[in-house]
Structure 1
Amino acid sequence: MIAQFYDRLSNDLTQLLESGVNCDISIEVGEGVSLANIYKVHSIILQSRSPYFKKKFDEITFNENHVKVLKLPNISVKEFNVIIKYIYSGKISLEKLENSVIFDLLITSNELELDELVEHLQSHLVNSNASWLKLKFAQIYLKSYQAKNFKIIRDFCDEIIAKHPNIIFESENFHSLPEDILISILKRDDLQLEEGKTWEYVIEWGKAKNPNLPTNLNEWKSANFVTLKETLKGCLPHIRYFSISGEDVAEKIYPYQQLLEHQLFSDINIKFIAPAKPISSIMLPPRKILKTTLPTRNTSIALFSDIITDEHALEISSWIDKKETPYIGNNPYEFKLLVRGSRDGFDVKTIYDICDKISNTAIILKVEGTGEILGGFNPLEWNKNYNGWKNTDDSFIFSLKTAILKNSILSRALYSNNFAIYNGPRNSYLAFGFALCLRGNLKTQKFCYCKFCTGYSKSIRSNEFISPPHHPKVPDEFLFSVEEYEVFKISPKIR
């Protein structure tokens, strides 16, 4: 048996870094007097940990003080503090770092060829901060393809695009998508998109690359089609033409038939007229479109939520039915996802726009920084054209059981509560009395809060997070933002 003393080794090397003894390299990190920092390090340690440093140190000559100086102006001091401690100690702590900093740290680690750290940071982001990756999806996706070692994040993004293609096709960055990335998407057999729609997106992308093309298709000349065909020559072979409906062929393909080889367009038409007749064009297999079915009695809510579990859903359902004990096993209600912050946007107005005239909804929040899961159930309709209070005895708010909360907390609206629900699209404001109040952008603005409130039976957060009841302005220490939120329409299952 081999004894291992890694902790002692890690501590000794950390002390060596801090002591500055026998350092032969000076690394200048950051740019500008106020932003730069100088690190005295040991070349033998950095070279053994990173091919990047080995190459750089070999290129640099010693100065008159027998020290090599390496300048890294594009790396922040905050990032390099983490990296240099990792290089010497083999340890890294990410708990107090913002997700954006962790992603920048990933990019820097990749540039410095710290492969072990690159893999760890990717796994951390995918496993612990998936909602943030989705929020910054276009930026993350493009970067994952530009960096050869971002396979974990790239696979994560590819799976999302396959299941939810609109996240990229409807994004503001779609027209600037590099051709190789678009082609990689078109090649996927599991892309969940009707082929006629895929064709439309490809045409739209090609037109964006040629802004001088006439806007009105009736004004196009043969040269215009040649230009677009040349732009799309790498994309067109990956369209599943023989999976496109006859109606879409007539409406979407026919106007652009000059983009296709004559034989291909002829074979597309032949397949509709005489399906059994052989053709000479390559026929790509249809995409594997997942069939949508009604959920069974045992369907887990985890399939639809990034926040709550099946156990949570059963508990919420039992509260709706005013049961004293939670349902077990068979949930009598269906939870239909209407809104997700990382997918649809974090502004409260988004909830009113999507949930207008919809009743029996549950809003679920994952609080930034604490891991709490808060929420509220509204039996009444949300209304994007109305501002004011609504009365109901059937609404309730809650804090769900998590690793930091032993049991869930339920707080019901008190009888004849005229201030049970505040419907306020005009001010981007939504509230359950003053016991749970949501305002503005739930992600980027720290405007949400809970107050001590007589309108609901109890507080759903611990006292340290509850604002005093009659305070004219909620103190900053009681305000919070959310990491993610979801809104579900809750309906009885069809039996």
Structure 2
Amino acid sequence: MTAKFFDRLSNDLAQLLEDPTDYNVSIEIGEAPNNQIFKVHSYILQSRSPYFKNKFNETPFNDDHIKVLTIPNPNISIKLFNVIIKYIYGGIISLEKLENSIIFDLLIASNELELDELVKHLQTYLVDNHASWLRLKFAQIYRTSYQVKNLEIIQEFYNDIIAKHPSTIFESENFYSLSKDALISIIKRDDLQLVEGKIWEYVIKWGKAKNSTLPTNLDEWTSDNFLTLKETLKECLPYIRYFNFSNEDVIERIFPYQQILEPKLFLDINSKIMTPNKPISSKILPARTIPDSNILTIEHSLEILSWIDRQEPYYTGNIQCKFELLAKGSRDGFDLKDIYNICDKVSNTIIVLKVEGTGEILGGFNPLQWNKEIKGRNRTGDSFAFSLKTSNLKNSILSRVKNKDYGIGYNSSVSWFSFGHTLVLRHNLKTSKLCYCRINGESYDKPIRSAEFLSLDHEPSSSNKSTFNVEEYEIFKVLKRND
């Protein structure tokens, strides 16, 4: 068994700092007469900091066999260096009595002195304990995090905010001064809550802002102008999800700037519009998804929110509502009775289903509370069912309730839930093969599946072609954002 006595070791080394016997380095912080000399030991500092190791190698001993160092950065104050040197010697740091701005200055100083362990700790401390202050100082600290190295934890904290609230940066006065690395770190995220057409638009604006001599009127652009923009954006363009643009966005937004794309990529974009099932050689990045979902893309979620708010055409900006995951099959099971238990008394929910074998995404919006005690139909005029756009379905299908008395059907005791006859869920969604959509019915205004998959019967058997199993389902509560 190995015994470790770190506390005693830390205390003894800290005492050595207080009584610097046999010191061989003096470090001057600040300017006279308000300066302070720290008498320290080269072996300790070299073992703890690559910065000091390099400094000692560059600095000769004086006649008294002492190496005299100065810290060139005037922002490293006596107060900050006191904290740092005590950490170097004793491995102890106390932050509770320090102001947040001082802690951040300490972070920058520690980073300059290459104290990687402390840099990581200070970032984590600020994110875990002072997130509200970081949000308040968003512009200043976010910019700083890309001007210096090793602040990945701070960067990730801010990029999480930007992913949820893109307007925080894209609509701010600081957007055009954003560094290329910062822009790439944002647009490469799978959870950036913007439709692809808007992301492209912002990237183009950023690139044009970096080249102030480009003509304002696109009709006046020469081939050299497009080449200039292409060169500026060459590291950003690979992170655009070109095959998730709407056809309208391809025509209105990509076509005018087609010269900045590689010819093969532009040809494949056109090919996907005209012959969606034809194989292409260009890399297809996955669609951006909402948090906690493996089914819904950003475009899907904006379309669903537009249907809830009865907006036409559907939203194209950033999401102003939050989708809170309540249940998913792969985590919570596929039995409807379990779903009732999880969602009981919860209102304003969306259920999405990935149909096994077909790639279809079916679902619906239930404005009423789930209720495992109720049996029968429940009146609402705001529910709807849908089939979402996929690689096999050119446009989404929306079916709104037509007969309000048949809006939502509940029956937990027999494992049954429905949006009229338009979408009926029964028993175990993954194994029983009893879910179906009916061909006729007056409760909703249109079917959400093609005719070959619609049932003529009420409660068809599992051998019927119209019945299906669910590969995965997700249920979300829709909330107004307040985070």
TM-score (norm 1): 0.55
Note if contact 1:193-1:289 (Cα within 8 Å) is conserved in structure 2: no
Q: Residues 35 and 77 of structure 1 are in contact (CA less than 8 Å); yes or no, is this contact kept in structure 2?
A: no
> Unaligned 5+ residue runs, structure 2?
306-320, 323-342, 349-478
Deviation sequence 1:100-132 (CA, Å, 0-9, x none): 221121121122222221221111011111122
1:61 to partner: Cα distance:
1.5
Task: Answer whether contact 2:191 2:288 (CA < 8 A) is retained.
Answer: yes
**In structure 2, how many angstroms separate the alpha carbons of the residues matched to 1:73 and 1:262?**
51
CA deviation string 1:397-456 (max 9, x = no partner): xxxxxxxxxxxxxxxxxxxxxxxxxxxxxxxxxxxxxxxxxxxxxxxxxxxxxxxxxxxx
Give the RMSD, CA atoms, in angstroms. 3.1
- Measure the CA separation in 2 of the matches of 1:134 and 1:79: 24
1:72 corresponds to which letter in structure 2? I
Distance 1:18 1:253, change over 3 A: same
Could you tell me which runs of 5 or more consecutive residues in structure 1 were left unpaired when the two chains were aligned. Answer: 295-302, 305-328, 335-487, 491-495
SS in 2 for 1:45: helix
Give 1:35 shift.
4.6
SS of equivalent to 1:40: strand
- Letter of the aligned partner of 1:228 in structure 2? L
Secondary structure of the residue aligned to 2:183 is helix
TM-score (norm. length: structure 2): 0.56
| Higher CA-based Rg | 2
Call closer, same or farther: CA 1:47–1:218 in 2, change over 3 Å.
same
Deviation at 1:257, TM superposition (A): 2.4
Q: Distance in 2 between matches of 1:271 and 1:27?
A: 65
Q: How many residues align?
A: 304
The answer as to 2:44 corresponding to 1:15 is: no
Correspondence 1:221-300 to 2 at 5 A: 221-290=222-291, 291=296
Is 1:24–2:24 an aligned residue pair?
yes
Q: 1:79 deviation in Å?
A: 0.9
> Partner of 1:104 in structure 2?
105
The amino acid that maps onto 2:91 is G
Deviation at 1:263, TM superposition (A): 4.0
Residue in 1 that maps onto 2:186: 185
Distance 1:268 1:332, change over 3 A: closer
> What residue number does 1:86 align with?
87
Specify the alignment match of 1:33 in structure 2.
32
Where 1:103 maps in the other structure, the secondary structure is helix
What is the alpha-carbon distance in structure 1 between the residues aligned to residue 58 and residue 72 of structure 2? 18
Deviations 1:347-387 (A, max 9, x none): xxxxxxxxxxxxxxxxxxxxxxxxxxxxxxxxxxxxxxxxx
Superposition map of 1:344-383 within 5 A? none
Q: Is the 8 A contact 2:164 2:193 kept in 1?
A: yes
2-side partners of 1:6 and 1:236: how far apart? Answer: 51
Instruction: Map 1:392-471 to 2 at 5 A.
Output: none
Counterparts in 2 of 1:73 and 1:230: CA distance versus 1, 3 Å: closer
What is the rounded CA distance, in whole Å, between the counterparts of 2:142 and 2:284 in structure 1? Answer: 30
Q: Does 1:219 align with 2:220?
A: yes
Rounded to whole Å, the distance in 1 between the matches of 2:8 and 2:277 is: 74
Go from structure 1 to structure 2 and tell me whether the alpha carbon gap of 1:333 and 1:20 turns closer, same or farther (over 3 Å shift): farther
Deviations along 1:208-253, one digit per CA (max 9) or x if unpaired, are 1110111222332333222212222222232111211122222222
- In the alignment, the residues of structure 1 paired with residue 232 and residue 480 of structure 2 have an alpha-carbon distance, to the nearest angstrom, of 44
